[in-house]
Amino acid sequence: MIRLKPFEVRATGSKADPFRTARLRLTLLYLAIITGIVALLSASLYEFHSHDVGRMERGRTVPVVPGERGIAQDAPSLGEYLERLGRSIILADIITILAGGGLSYILASRTLRPVKEAVEAEQRFFANAAHDLRTPLAVMRSEAEVALRSGRVGGADAHRILASSLEEIDRMSAMVEQMLDLARSGSTSPHARIGLVPLDLASLARNVAGKMSTRAEACGLQLTIDTPEAATVHGDPRALERAVFNILENAVTYTPAGGSIKVRVAQHGSHVELSVMDTGIGIMPEDLPHITEPFFRGDRARGAHSGGTGLGLTIARSIVEENRGSMRAESRPDAGTTVILRFLQA
């Protein structure tokens, strides 16, 4: 069995936290820059005051004997003044560098935070992808091994094994296609890649719900639609239809027989909202922030044996954001889930 090393070990060759090291290096870099700037300003300030004090010292001399010059007795010497000035500048430099060090550490942490979150998301992506790809491969392998050991690879057994293998291959193919869709959705600037045109979101919701109604009935679910006559937004009709279809498909997948799904479109001021409410298994609070991450499926979803890929909501969110909309979800375990799409009214 092949064991993959943790991401930070593969990326850096070390078990140490790479972000901790990077944070310290970035802090030292910031601190070195601050120290250099402070040293340069301090030297310039000291040099400027040296010349200025020299001029003041010459201007404060008083004549003692004709043809000679003397220094007023109450005037501080140039050396004493510059010594006090040097101590003050050094003290100010130390305080500035200490404060700069603390601020540099905070700034380094804030600078690296998005990178760390991106790497953590990538780790979850690969872990979830590996888990979902491993399952169908394990099924095909185990069935093939059992058939070979039994010595009865023919007739009905061969048909069953081949049918099961094709089913798992179809599942992996669908997963790969969704991965490609997801990759394409983030490959270029959204507004340069899709054409946003006025469209009737209410009509679009009715069309998608109509296509899903047969499957919902086959699963023993009641699908209802509540929409106004029209609700116009700007978007890509085909892309938004795919997003709504994915959300409805997810609701059908995770709602047990006897449950219900409601599709609703409503206008709220200058916005239009499309919501899909189901009475399904719901989502745990700790899983809710991650449901649109690639391949993420909570323990309850995996336990439902849905056969889903964990990419439907990821693609839906990507499409909605490309169409200048937003997507959020509300859910409680065993109390259903509501997914809400929000667009600016055209």
Q: Same domain, yes or no, for 235 and 153?
A: no
69-71 vs 61-63, strand pairing mode: antiparallel
Average pLDDT, the chain: 76
Q: Which domain, by its residues, includes 220?
A: 195-344
Is 327 found in the same domain as 266? yes
| Mean pLDDT, residues 221-235 taken together | 93
- The more confidently predicted of residues 109 and 54 is 109
Which of 37-46, 220-229, 284-293 is the most confident on average? 220-229
Compute the distance between CA of residue 217 and CA of residue 113 in angstroms, rounded to an integer: 47
Bridge partner residues of 276 (DSSP): 263, 339
Give the domain CATH number at 163: 1.10.287.130
Together in a domain, 217 and 272: yes
pLDDT band, very low/low/confident/very high, at 276 (cuts 50, 70, 90): very high
* 253-264 residue pLDDT tens: 999 999 999 999
Domain end marker among 97, 123, 149: 123
Q: How far apart are CA 335 and CA 283, in angstroms?
A: 9
287: which 2 tokens?
């899983």
Among 175, 176, 137, 139, CA closest to 160: 139
Per-residue confidence band for 115, with pLDDT thresholds at 50, 70 and 90: confident
Domains in the chain: how many in total? Answer: 3
Residues 160 and 301 in one domain: no
Residue 66 lies in a domain: yes
Confidence of residue 179 (pLDDT cuts 50, 70, 90): low
Q: What is the CATH number of the domain that holds 257?
A: 3.30.565.10
**Are 256 and 318 part of one and the same domain?**
yes
- Looking at the fold, whether 80 and 182 belong to one and the same domain comes out as no
Does 271 share its domain with 184?
A: no
Q: Evaluate whether residue 1 is within a structural domain.
A: no
163 shares its domain with 46? no
On whether both 215 and 183 belong to a single domain, the answer is no
Q: Which of 143, 170, 190 is the C-terminal boundary of a domain?
A: 190
Shared domain check, 16 and 99:
yes
Q: Is residue 2 part of a domain?
A: no
Q: What is the mean pLDDT of residues 3-27?
A: 58
164, 190, 216: which is the final residue of a domain?
190
Give a yes or no: residue 316 inside a domain.
yes
What burial letters (b/e) apply to 76-100, b meaning 16+ CB within 10 Å?
Answer: eeeeebeeeeeeebeeeeeebeeeb
- Write the pLDDT tens digit of every residue in 278-307: 999 999 888 888 888 876 766 555 555 455
Within a domain: 172: yes
User: HSE of 25 in the Cβ direction (CA atoms, 13 Å)?
Assistant: 7
Q: What pLDDT, on the 0 to 100 scale, is given for residue 295?
A: 67
Residues 208 and 337 placed together within one structural domain of the fold? yes
Based on the fold, state whether residues 61 and 201 are members of the same structural domain. Answer: no
183 pLDDT more than 80: no
CB 327 within 8 A of CB 292: yes
The region of weakest confidence among 75-89, 172-186, 198-212 is 172-186
Averaged pLDDT for residues 204-209: 94
